[in-house]
Copies of this chain bind each other. A is one copy, B any other.
Amino acid sequence: MDEFEIIRRYFTPKEKSESVIVGVGDDGAVLRPDPGRDLITVIDSLVAGVHFPDKLYPEDVGYRAVAVNVSDIAAMGGRPRWMTLALTLDKNKRGWEEDFASGIAIAADTYGIDLVGGDLTHGSETVVSVQITGDVEPGLAITRNGANPGDAIYVSGTPGDASLGLSIIQSNPTLDDPLYTLIRRFTRPDARIELGQTIAPHASAAIDVSDGLFSDLEKMLTASGVSGRIELDDIHLSTELMNTLAEEDRLNFALGGGDDYELCFTSAQEEFFESGEIAGVRVTKIGQVGKGSGLSCAKGGDPFEYHDDGYRHFS
């Protein structure tokens, strides 16, 4: 099968939205945006052996490649609409593309996105680059640089699960592993699209947690020119993570583990977040923004030294 045939067979969606005037198969796609909305564009690559283990099911690779990009749109409060895909296939890995395409299609369906273009090349390793265009009401996009002293700091979900899931994958689990919930947090991350759109009018800054809670929050504070302090006891950990890890390891996963694709954000409107659940997702207040710079931690109210190693991909 040549490139053209592979694209036609696996990557041509059966139906397309009304907004897609010309889809896959021409020099480019022609799209009709909704009038009066701004566009959001994101791009992210996953390299085999760096961003995911070589043994990961190709369907999971496809799903993840879409979800991590949708997550960037979510962190800006936008709605994902159209996707293009550049796939460099490991030339020794024949037969991989069918399951991969199925993961792409499942994720596209989950998030309501049209696959509108792609390029397939062969190389010495697999590299998946997904680009997504979304849209947002003008003025509503949440950036990283709007946090103000006095704002509360929030994070959604239960940090650390995905990186713990990844470490379980590497220990060769079976499919009926009781910790499959954690594994799925790595293989099928939930991009927080509805949460992002709901908080957009209320949040002062947001970022999605891809490299780890500590380092991503630190990036957002730096971009905003402010400092932050988080209370480690306030971070909500999952039962699965609590049951799997000894106390001293929990913080390393929760603060230093990447791949969660939860949203970390700041807001001055604490009453809006009081219920602890927004758009069906747990949202936890974990700290406060201050003047100056840097991110510090407390535990039970006392200063706590946490040394972030930065996120290292598993390899």
Contacts and interface: CB of A to CB of B under 8 A. Distances in A.
Contact of A144 (B21, B26, B39): B26
Interface string A25-41: 11111111101101111
Interface in A145-197: 145
A122 interface: yes
Contacts of A33: 33, 38-39
Interface residues of A, number: 61
Contacts of A29: 40-42
B47 A141 contact: no
B27 A207 contact: yes
Q: Number of copies of this chain in the oligomer?
A: 2
Interface in A97-148: 116-119, 121-125, 127, 129, 131, 133-134, 136, 138, 141, 143-145
Nearest to A32: B38
Nearest to A41: B29
Interface of A: 4, 21-22, 25-33, 35-36, 38-47, 50-51, 72-73, 75-76, 78, 82, 84-86, 88, 116-119, 121-125, 127, 129, 131, 133-134, 136, 138, 141, 143-145, 206-208, 219, 223
12 contacts: A22-B141, A27-B207, A28-B40, A29-B42, A30-B141, A32-B39, A33-B39, A43-B84, A43-B85, A45-B88, A119-B129, A121-B127
